[in-house]
């Protein structure tokens, strides 16, 4: 048996149930396939695998064939891309379930990146008022962030992730070997979310990243596995405290309010989520510096680490009025006031509306149309 480069696991504690995150490269060996690892978490005999037309040719056949030895397995293959994270795609999942007369005993398996995971989870949350699902994230971004914690949903033309539900998976299988087929741009997009955890929670992790980013970008799976585990543990700890994002969990959206403006304005899929978050994190850091929290050197440090991961640090040109209007649709808006996650220092994030609107305008106008 070939020993994995990396194998570890942790438990996410939620109000409804606890579930494991398995982080491994072991699924590449004949003795420990994806199917063998997820099978114990399938309830009932019915399985619907939801994937997309990019991931399907890589991993679907083996997973489907092996599971078919024990279960009734059907497949729903969706088009790839953030622009398809919408109601039409959800209806395709519903259609597949209804056509097969699947019932509440079905388990949905999300095989793909964050878009597939979010949509499969939302379909699972809403089909027959809730059925089980399993996450097999195949991108770095989904492994470190979107597959963990039960946030599911789809986009609306006026705002990202505006329609959805909190619905926890039965387990998450992060197979590091899938990163070998990940385009470099997608790898960088995932690193953006890893950097986010360091900026909001742990300056020592940022120091670790500065030393290890070259190995990560060169696809050192052991180093990537360690980064994925640390991020999943950070998120698991937060989810255990605040499953439905009423408090501390909102801090995980650092850079996202600015980033969602970019994604919505530019058209879903033109900027990858991690790319938009990267530019958004630097904008949030610039506002934090203008308030007097971050130093100039800290902003430079943040910019440097983003550039080391080949991430964009300059947002597209968007006029201030348009950006503010898009920010008004953000889920963190409360009593009509925009609230942002900002940094008091690296590793210390806060959700606040206590900033001068003029300073926000200055940050937005820096790259405005």
- Give tens-digit pLDDT for 233-266: 999 999 999 999 888 999 999 999 999 999 999 9
Q: What is the pLDDT of residue 3?
A: 56
What are the DSSP calls for 82-136, one per residue? GGG-SHHHHHHHHHHHHHTT--TT-EEEEEESHHHHHHHHHHHHHGGG--EEEEE
Is there a catalytic annotation at residue 329? no
- Give tens-digit pLDDT for 3-56: 556 789 999 999 999 999 999 986 554 446 899 999 999 999 999 999 999 999
Is there a catalytic annotation at residue 256? yes
- Give tens-digit pLDDT for 126-171: 999 999 999 999 999 999 999 999 999 999 998 888 999 999 999 9
Catalytic-role residue among 85, 230, 253, 301: 253
Is there a catalytic annotation at residue 275? no
Catalytic-role residue among 230, 235, 290, 339: 235
Is there a catalytic annotation at residue 273? yes
- Give tens-digit pLDDT for 78-118: 999 999 999 999 999 999 999 999 999 999 999 999 999 99
Is there a catalytic annotation at residue 151? yes
Is there a catalytic annotation at residue 235? yes
Q: What is the pLDDT of residue 1?
A: 47
Is residue 120 within 8 A of residue 108, CB to CB? The reply is: yes
pTM: 0.92
Q: What is the pLDDT of residue 329?
A: 80
- Give tens-digit pLDDT for 295-351: 999 999 999 999 999 999 999 999 999 999 999 887 777 767 899 999 999 999 999
Q: What is the pLDDT of residue 154?
A: 96
Catalytic-role residue among 64, 245, 263, 275: 245
CA torsion angle for 86, 89, 95, 98 (degrees, to 10)? Answer: -70
Q: What is the pLDDT of residue 246?
A: 85
The 3-state DSSP class for residue 279 equals: helix
Q: What is the pLDDT of residue 2?
A: 53
For residues 215-219, average pLDDT: 97
Is there a catalytic annotation at residue 367? no
Catalytic-role residue among 64, 193, 263, 286: 193
Is there a catalytic annotation at residue 245? yes
% pLDDT > 90, the chain:
88
Catalytic-role residue among 229, 249, 265, 290: 249
Q: Which of 235, 228, 233 is nearest to 187 (CA)?
A: 228
Q: Which of 136, 101, 311 is nearest to 216 (CA)?
A: 311
Q: What is the pLDDT of residue 268?
A: 84
Q: Is the dihedral of CA 286, 290, 293, 295 positive or negative?
A: positive
Q: Which of 148, 111, 105, 154 is nearest to 130 (CA)?
A: 105
Is there a catalytic annotation at residue 85? no
């Amino acid at each position: 048996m070939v020993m994995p480069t990396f194998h570890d696991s942790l438990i996410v504690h939620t109000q409804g149930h606890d579930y494991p995150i398995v982080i491994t490269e072991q699924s590449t060996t004949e003795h420990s396939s994806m199917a063998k690892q997820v099978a114990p978490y399938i309830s009932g005999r019915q399985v619907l695998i939801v994937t997309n037309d990019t991931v399907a040719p890589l991993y679907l056949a083996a997973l489907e064939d092996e599971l078919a030895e024990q279960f009734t397995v059907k497949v729903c293959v969706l088009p790839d891309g953030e622009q398809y994270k919408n109601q039409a795609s959800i209806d395709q999942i519903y259609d597949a379930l209804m056509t097969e007369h699947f019932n509440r005993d079905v388990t949905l398996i999300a095989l793909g990146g964050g878009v597939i995971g979010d949509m499969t989870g939302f379909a699972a949350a809403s089909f027959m008022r809730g059925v089980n699902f399993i996450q097999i994230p195949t991108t770095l971004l989904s492994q470190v962030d979107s597959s963990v914690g039960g946030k599911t949903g789809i986009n609306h033309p006026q705002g990202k992730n505006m329609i959805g539900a909190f619905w926890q998976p039965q387990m998450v299988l992060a197979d590091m070997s899938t990163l070998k087929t990940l385009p470099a741009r997608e790898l960088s997009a995932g690193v953006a979310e890893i950097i986010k955890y360091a900026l909001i929670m742990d300056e020592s992790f940022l120091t670790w990243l500065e030393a290890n980013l070259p190995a990560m970008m060169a696809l050192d799976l052991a180093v990537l596995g360690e980064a994925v585990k640390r991020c999943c543990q950070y998120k698991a700890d937060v989810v255990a405290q605040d499953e439905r994002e009423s408090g501390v969990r909102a801090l995980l959206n650092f850079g996202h309010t600015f980033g969602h403006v970019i994604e919505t304005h530019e058209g879903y899929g033109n900027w990858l989520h991690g790319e938009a978050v990267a530019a958004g994190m630097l904008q949030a850091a610039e506002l934090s510096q203008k308030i007097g929290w971050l130093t100039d050197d800290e902003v430079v440090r943040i910019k440097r680490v983003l550039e080391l991961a080949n991430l964009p640090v300059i947002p597209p040109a968007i006029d201030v009025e348009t950006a503010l209007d898009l920010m008004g649709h953000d889920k963190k808006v409360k009593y009509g006031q925009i609230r942002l996650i900002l940094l008091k220092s690296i590793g210390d994030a806060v959700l606040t509306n206590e900033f001068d609107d003029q300073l926000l305008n200055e940050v937005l106008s820096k790259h405005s149309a």
